[in-house]
Amino acid sequence: MKTIYITGSRRYFLEMKSIKSSLNEKDIEVSITDKKRDSEDVSDEKATILRSFKSIDECDIVYVFAKEGYVDRIVMAEMSYAYAKNKEVFVSENVLDGAAQALVTKIINPEELLEMILSGNIIKKIK
């Protein structure tokens, strides 16, 4: 079974938690972004990004919750890192940023993601 890392802007954390719960109910291993901001300190942001990279290293698929196409700077960094690590990057909606669009494997809503995982029909990236 594939493991999923869910990420997106901090403003959509509750929606991402809901997606995680839906996948967990089907016994799919999911980690979710840990974008807690305890301060405005740059070292806090660095720690957040490094935690994200570790989660990406441990997953098979990165799922970006991109409500209305929005991805913030950290999400863009995560997408770039995942792409460089040859991970599949799925997004919930077409992202507005052109550079981010180039990193996307497929646009797929959460229900389609669940169906694809359960069917074993995972798209493989072509190098």
Decide yes or no: CATH 3.40.50.150 for domain 4-119: no
Average pLDDT over residues 53-75: 94
Question: What gap in Å lies between CA 13 and CA 64, rounded to an integer?
Answer: 11
Q: Per-residue pLDDT for 119 more than 90?
A: no
**pTM more than 0.85:** yes
Q: Per-residue pLDDT for 77 more than 70?
A: yes
Domain range summary for the chain, segments of one domain joined by +: 4-119
Question: What gap in Å lies between CA 25 and CA 109, rounded to an integer?
Answer: 17
Average pLDDT over residues 31-41: 68
Please give the share of the chain, as a percent, with pLDDT higher than 70: 88
Please give the share of the chain, as a percent, with pLDDT higher than 90: 61
Angle at 74 between CA 69 and CA 80, to 5 degrees: 80
- Cβ-based burial of 97 (10 A; exposed 0-12, middle 13-18, buried ≥19): middle
pLDDT of amino acid 33: 81
pLDDT of amino acid 73: 87
